[in-house]
Amino acid sequence: MAVTLPRPHAPAAPVQAAPEYGALPAYRGFISWLTTVDHKRIGILYGSTAFAFFLLGGLEALMIRIQLATPDGKFVSPDAFNQLFTMHGTTMIFLFVMPMSVAFFNYIVPLQIGAPDVAFPRLNAFSYWTFLFGAIFMNMSYFVDGMPDGGWFGYAPLTTIRFSPSHRIDFWMLGLQILGVASLAGAFNFLVTIINMRAPGMSLMRMPVFTWNTLITSFLLVFAFPAITVALILLMFDRFFGTNFYYAPNGGDPLLWQHLFWIFGHPEVYILILPAMGMVSEILPVFSKKPLFGYPFVVYATVAIGFIGFGVWAHHMFTTGLGPIVNSFFAASTMLIAVPTGVKIFNWMGTMYGGAIRFTTPMLFAIGFVSMFTIGGLTGVMHAIVPVDMQHQDSYFVVAHFHYVLFGGAFFGIMGGIFFWWSKFTGKLLSEKLGKWCFWLVFSGFNLTFGPMHFLGVDGMPRRIYTYGENQGWSGWFGLHWLGWNMVVSIGAFIIMAGMLVFIYAAIRSLLGPKNAENDPWDGATLEWSLPSPPPVYNFAVPPVVRSRDAFWAWKRRPQAVEAGENVATLQVAGHTVGHAEFEEEHPS
């Protein structure tokens, strides 16, 4: 039964926050961070660890770009270069984008679905510590034999013991396996949480879109990781026990690795991008002051991408000689996946159409996502054109393409998410002025870095080369042997670095400053904005009852309708109990 709800400007909370336990000794001090099972603190652990690895991966990228700025670069040795690009890719994918997405899953999803925590809080802590161990383990390779140098894709037979006899690949292979355990445990946790712990009334089609994307990403993780697990176990047997799964002279097939790797690897691309898409789908409506346009279609499109994502892996293998029939099939399936992707882009534009757009920092990053991801999507379709891919495959054109998807896409989405939810995480505001400097520096640096890579790819520059000659035409403007697109690309990389330094400065200044954030600084739509910033342990005293999408927005705008008993846009507080004695309090109902 509905309770009488206050007027829109009345301060009373529509949601009862849990009592503040944060001041108790159990929630203070260094040790409490080691033992915590609170989803929000684990989220912060995930996020700060991932950001540290982002800095490491970014440093590796800068070293790559110093080496390649001019022909015949002498900054690092070929051996070091191969380690750098291997660990840049591995770090950014497995140690930054994935755990950073999981940080948002952890912090935001239980709040959005009105739950006190994830389904298995201890398993959640296990996931984090396993991830941290795996990440450290992999990087320990540096102190033993040098960093892994087989590429993030680890193609056999180069990674077999005959061609990579050192322990570098062992660290990479076992490290990935450990990270896989962490990812799988986390994915199952979020599946169970989202399926079972939604607030009363929150049907699947009332779920916030970020939660939807978390759900589908978790399914992708559960179905994709077994393939890489098997691939890595076979590699381990080849390396440690002398089997011949990938070793051609004894009858093994190197293509087996590629199939297994990309059956995992392509869904992995969606594992990286879907969380960011979810964040953008939350940010665009809030700063357009409109609900997400075509919500069901966005959801179906996400589901469709999840399904089709398992049927396109061989487009990474168009030049391996799979034959015209296989190539045609995967060309068609790859083109097909552009359709739901397009649907999402159009719906994001439909969301902004007719709105009142506020150009805040999170909104700038979200708009940047839509714009840059479109470019990455278009070049992605180009790679579905098999004959064209025979020219572009393994050239800088591909490097440009997937950075438009993963930097212009996943990273912009994550940055948008950080600026959007920062006040919820910390209770403090981030400077909008510095935020905009950060955005415009990163945005222009990004395009300066990855735009010209298209030209270099078309000019025939292959990926993963540690050097190139003056006679190859990838430099030499105005007769200056050192000047060319490669120099522009490298300068762009340092502009990105400048933008990120602005962000770090803004973040530190905010963290050292006072707690000045309101609960709902952006006029948000989803339940997390109804809680204090940061929310208390266990979040809600009682599960909120949800009667529509964008439950909090609806409550703020239409209280009269709620009072009138209309079954629209209603959020109620009902006397449910949460499985914890302290919370068993009756609410007048």
Q: Please tell me whether residue 364 binds another protein under the rule CB under 8 A.
A: yes
Q: Among 23-31, 187-195, 307-315, 439-447, which window interacts with another protein (CB under 8 A)?
A: 439-447
Least Cβ distance, residue 275 to another protein (angstroms): 22
Looking at 8, 19, 242, 460, which residue binds another protein (CB under 8 A)? 460
Q: Among 50-58, 110-118, 437-445, 571-579, which window interacts with another protein (CB under 8 A)?
A: 437-445
Looking at 253, 494, 532, 574, which residue binds another protein (CB under 8 A)? 253
Closest CA to 39 of 130, 96, 89, 111: 111
Question: How many C-beta atoms lie closer than 10 Å to residue 354's C-beta?
Answer: 11
Within 199-238, the residues that bind another protein by CB under 8 A are none
Least Cβ distance, residue 358 to another protein (angstroms): 5
Closest CA to 58 of 454, 140, 66: 66
- 540 forms beta bridges with 17
Closest CA to 265 of 307, 337, 315: 315
**DSSP string covering 281-304:** HHHHHHHHTSPPTTHHHHHHHHHH
Q: Please tell me whether residue 21 binds another protein under the rule CB under 8 A.
A: no
Q: Binding mask 538-577 vs another protein (x if CB under 8 A, - otherwise)? A: -------------------x--------------------
d(C-alpha 578, C-alpha 316), whole Å: 48
Q: Please tell me whether residue 2 binds another protein under the rule CB under 8 A.
A: no
Q: Please tell me whether residue 472 binds another protein under the rule CB under 8 A.
A: yes
Q: Among 89-97, 366-374, 411-419, 537-545, which window interacts with another protein (CB under 8 A)?
A: 366-374
Looking at 97, 187, 194, 370, which residue binds another protein (CB under 8 A)? 370
Q: Among 124-132, 215-223, 430-438, 530-538, which window interacts with another protein (CB under 8 A)?
A: 430-438
Q: Are 275 and 307 in contact (CB under 8 A)?
A: no
Locate tokens 């050097």: which residue?
467
d(C-alpha 504, C-alpha 508), whole Å: 6
CB hemisphere CA count around 131 (13 angstroms): 31
Q: What's the first-to-final CA gap in the chain, in angstroms? A: 6
Q: Among 8-16, 223-231, 263-271, 335-343, which window interacts with another protein (CB under 8 A)?
A: 335-343
Q: Are 67 and 466 in contact (CB under 8 A)?
A: yes
d(C-alpha 198, C-alpha 545), whole Å: 10
> By three-state DSSP, how is residue 395 classified?
strand
Q: Please tell me whether residue 35 binds another protein under the rule CB under 8 A.
A: no
Q: Please tell me whether residue 66 binds another protein under the rule CB under 8 A.
A: no
Least Cβ distance, residue 520 to another protein (angstroms): 16
Locate tokens 């905010």: which residue?
510
Measured CA angle at 83 (ends 78, 84), to 5 deg: 95
Structure tokens at 290: 């409109």
d(C-alpha 238, C-alpha 232), whole Å: 10
Least Cβ distance, residue 467 to another protein (angstroms): 5
Q: Please tell me whether residue 52 binds another protein under the rule CB under 8 A.
A: no
Q: Are 394 and 465 in contact (CB under 8 A)?
A: no
Positive or negative: CA dihedral 70, 442, 90, 336: negative
Within 475-494, the residues that bind another protein by CB under 8 A are 475-478, 484-485, 488
Least Cβ distance, residue 76 to another protein (angstroms): 11
Structure tokens at 215: 């759900």
Looking at 146, 151, 521, 532, which residue binds another protein (CB under 8 A)? 151
d(C-alpha 254, C-alpha 259), whole Å: 9
Closest CA to 381 of 345, 324, 333: 333
Within 371-390, the residues that bind another protein by CB under 8 A are 371, 374-375, 378-379, 381-382, 384-390
Least Cβ distance, residue 349 to another protein (angstroms): 6
- 307 forms beta bridges with none
Looking at 229, 244, 431, 444, which residue binds another protein (CB under 8 A)? 444
**DSSP string covering 32-66:** HHHH---HHHHHHHHHHHHHHHHHHHHHHHHHHHH
Task: Output the CA–CA distances (angstroms, integers) from residue 112 to 204, 275, 526, in the order listed.
Answer: 12, 14, 6
Q: Binding mask 74-113 vs another protein (x if CB under 8 A, - otherwise)? A: ---xxx--x-------------------------------
Q: Among 22-30, 124-132, 230-238, 350-358, which window interacts with another protein (CB under 8 A)?
A: 350-358
Least Cβ distance, residue 290 to another protein (angstroms): 6
Q: Among 183-191, 208-216, 442-450, 527-535, which window interacts with another protein (CB under 8 A)?
A: 442-450
| Cβ-based nearer residue to another protein, 106 or 288 | 288
Q: Please tell me whether residue 443 binds another protein under the rule CB under 8 A.
A: yes
Q: Among 212-220, 273-281, 419-427, 470-478, which window interacts with another protein (CB under 8 A)?
A: 470-478
Structure tokens at 226: 């077994």
Within 153-192, the residues that bind another protein by CB under 8 A are 155, 157-158, 163
Q: Binding mask 283-322 vs another protein (x if CB under 8 A, - otherwise)? A: -----xxxx-xxxxx---------------------xxx-
| Cβ-based nearer residue to another protein, 302 or 539 | 302
Looking at 21, 129, 240, 359, which residue binds another protein (CB under 8 A)? 359
Q: How many residues bind another protein (CB under 8 A)?
A: 113
Q: Are 22 and 533 in contact (CB under 8 A)?
A: no
| Cβ-based nearer residue to another protein, 51 or 293 | 293
Q: Are 225 and 181 in contact (CB under 8 A)?
A: no
Least Cβ distance, residue 32 to another protein (angstroms): 38
Q: Are 388 and 382 in contact (CB under 8 A)?
A: yes
